[in-house]
Structure 1
Amino acid sequence: MTDIGAALAEAHRRDWAQVLATTVRVTRDLDLAEECTQEAYAQALITWRSTGIPEKTGAWLTRVALTARLVCGLSTAEIARAFLVPEATMAARLTRAKKKIATARIPYRVPADDQLAERLGPVLDVIHLLFTTGHTAPAGPALIRHDLVTGAIDLARTLHLLMPRTAPAGALLALLLITDARRAARVAADGRLLLLAEQDRTLWNHRQIAEGTALLTDALRRHPPTRYAVEAAIAAVHAEAPAWEATDWTEIAGLYDVLLRLCPGSPVIALNRAVAVGFRDGPAAGLAATEPLLSEPSLATYPYLSATRADFLRRLGREAEAAAAYQEALALTGNEIERAFLEVRVSGGWPEGR
């Protein structure tokens, strides 16, 4: 909370005038612009606790959530899940924002070239939100929403073509391509979820991996590491391993340490780091790394925390506790493919050594 408060105070000192000026330029109403800017900072205080502090706080403050809802067509429930807030909370935020836009008759227009750079951060975040929602659908019969994944990659590719010298855009495209390269291997022919350890790596799209790796190399040469560049690097380490057993967990854990420095306070990144620690140092160390996250409010209904702890408990031979944790994850999961996987785990069925 101290880091978030300090970052928000710094963003207020450094970015308030620019955010307000931009909002006034759009709304042509100083009072309304002040209200909108105040609301943006209030939302930042809540959201940054779970997502981490963005690299460009001023750009983030232009309503990422509203853009996602209107441009990408995601449901309120899907946006709320991505931001780790209740659906009712996100619905209220979107309603207030849309009411302000309607009252002020704020026009929607294509930004001028000199405005593109300041708006890049929120655009990247929206494309990433679209991709992650499609990569593992929050609910429904399919693990992957191919329309959202393909749409997000197309948007990222278009953005990279429009701004080819902008390293963050290239890094995001790299992340999406390398992550999506596993798409064909994530579900078995019988519909069963396949974990990374079980996937047939010959089915991975190695053309996409090569393209993504080249984009990442170029992005890192042009610009210091950003959040999406580090995430792409993590995906690349997985992609480079010829087999699950050859995964370099030391490098992955180290990259998550870098990512946490870029996005301090993000519980999801901390959870992913705990997974890497568990494979690097053993399940007891991984389980211990998840302990501080149990008191994190934004993860109270996040099924992957329970599933992660369940897997560590299973690997430690604490099967009754593992089954209970899998049951908790099952209660929080809406995707039918994931639910079927968890039901098997609840009953004690799992591949040996996985």
Structure 2
Amino acid sequence: MRRRIEAVWRIEAPRLIGSLARTLRDFGLAEEVAQDALVAALETWPSKGVPERPGAWLLTTARRRAIDILRHATLATRKHELLEHEMSDWPQSDADPTHSDNEFGDDLLRLIFIACHPVLSTDARVALTLRVLGGLTTPEIARAFLVPEATVAQRIVRAKKMLADKQVPFELPPKAELGPCLASALEVVYLIFNEGYAATSGEDWM
């Protein structure tokens, strides 16, 4: 069952984090509540079974967790009100679709551009992309690039902090910035592809 849940997570995580980040406007919080939803799935699904729409279940669980966190955050009044307003349009049933495929596609595209934003170092962009879009764990990323786990963890934490400090919006880049942002994203794709290709000659394959 755990492997099945992890397989679902690998597929759903990018869409989940993308949707949450668009609503919350907080990349770190989006990943946090997404991880909380995964923990809830690991605790619930083995006894109750995998839902018919696991992605919708994870998204609903993560949104509820976000509301709980924001309700207890004294400095998050505006975000809480925004999220409560958006929640009025959210379906109450986990089985109902919450986004169209086009909306999920837009969220994923936004997530790619923010994870590969030029304000981040190359190493940070690669680590963050593999984490939020590839669904890899910190140990898996560390093994792939032959660096200590602590180094990868620091890169991811610093990347999130940089995005927050620079107030990088969770939006598609404006036309004037599209060139550099696209080049940054393509560089990350190239580096990940090269590393994955090289790994096929060893014991690990990314």
Question: Into which bin does the TM-score normalised by the smaller protein fall?
Answer: 0.3 to 0.5
Structure with more contact order per residue of length (Cα contacts < 8 Å, sep ≥ 6) = 2
Decide which structure has the larger Cα Rg and report it. 1
TM (norm. structure 2) is 0.36
